[in-house]
Structure 1
Amino acid sequence: MMIRRELPDDLEPIRAVTAAAFRGAEHSAPPVEPGGDPGEATLVSWLREDPGWVPELSLVAVEDGSVVGHVVATRARVDDRPALGLGPLSVHPRRQGAGVGTALMHAVLGAADALGEPLVALLGDPAYYRRFGFVPAQSAGVVAPDASWGDYFQVRTLTSYDGEAGRFHYAAPFDRL
């Protein structure tokens, strides 16, 4: 398996992997169009068109020439300070549990740190994301966009973290779901 930046020819495979990964998932966003792909598949397309898109942080996992996973982090903020929002993280169902998601997470966190980003936030299962150093956002003084998210809204501080605290704001496309 190889992890690399997204290329123009990867757009449709990324959408297919994201749709497959989130189809039927317990906490998936509803389809934007009736009967369409899960909202996460559309979200990735919307994020590409947003000023918060960071091309260096859209990564794919490739096996035998096929995209089997994708992760993206986009520009966000904590109050008026820069941060990143991570997600979606997608792995094709036939490759889930094989380390693809773990490899993508390590790669995107390393890339974000190398770019000098201070903090990454996400909404996800604490039991899964704690292995990557994520903690409940409230413990770092970061307020979730929605209080009902509780400990599912998490942050991971990076090398340039300087105590950023306040309300977290995802890139605008997240608000469209």
Structure 2
Amino acid sequence: MRIRPEQPDDSDAIRAVTAAAFRGAAYSAPPVTPGGDPGEATLVSWLRDDPGWIPELSLVAIEDEKVLGHVVCTRAHVGDQSALGLGPLSVSPQRQKSGIGSALVQAVLAAAAARGESLVALLGEPAYYGRFGFVPAREVGITAPDASWGDYFQVRTLSRYDGRTGEFRYAAPFDRL
């Protein structure tokens, strides 16, 4: 398996992997259209069309030229300062729990740090993301977009983190879900 930036011809495969990964998951966003793919699959398309899209932070895991997983970070903000929002992270259901998701998270965090980014936030399972250095956002004074998310809203500070605090805002397409 190798990880590389998303290429233009990967978009259909990314949508398929994302839809399959989130289909039937209890925590999945509802379909945008009745009977359609989970909201996360549509979200990736919306994010590509948003000014917050950062092409080098949209990564795919490839094996035998097949997309097995995808992760993306997009421009977000804490107050008026730049940050990143991670998600969705998707792995083909047949390959989940094989290390692909971990490899994608590590790769996107390394790419974000190399770009000089300071903070990455996400909504996800603390037991999973804690291994990558994510902590509940409230521990560093960052407020979730929705208070009911509690400890599931997490942040990972990077070397350029300056101690900023305040309310976190994802890229605008997240508000459409």
SS in 1 for 2:77: strand
- 1:34-86: CA deviations, max 9, x gaps? 00000000000000000000001000000111000000000000000000000
The residue type paired with residue 137 of structure 2 is A
Distance 1:48 1:7 in 2: 12
Match of 1:163 in 2: 163
Match of 1:149 in 2: 149
Unpaired segments ≥5 residues, structure 1: none
- 1:26 Cα deviation after fit: 1.2
For these two proteins, the number of residue pairs brought into alignment is 177
Match of 2:132 in 1: 132
Distance 2:114 2:159 in 1: 9
Match of 1:10 in 2: 10
Match of 1:71 in 2: 71
The residue type paired with residue 146 of structure 1 is D
- The percentage of counterpart residues that share the same residue type is 75
Kindly report the root-mean-square deviation, in angstroms, between the aligned alpha carbons of the 2 structures. 0.3
Distance 1:116 1:36 in 2: 38
- 1:69-116: CA deviations, max 9, x gaps? 000000000000000000000000000000000000000000000000
Match of 2:96 in 1: 96
Match of 1:175 in 2: 175
Match of 1:34 in 2: 34
**Does residue 105 of structure 2 align to residue 112 of structure 1?**
no
Give the TM-score normalised by structure 1. 1.00
The residue type paired with residue 172 of structure 1 is A
Give the TM-score normalised by structure 2. 1.00
Distance 2:144 2:38 in 1: 23
- 1:164 Cα deviation after fit: 1.3
Distance 1:159 1:103 in 2: 20
Distance 1:164 1:86 in 2: 18
- 1:133 Cα deviation after fit: 0.2
Unpaired segments ≥5 residues, structure 2: none
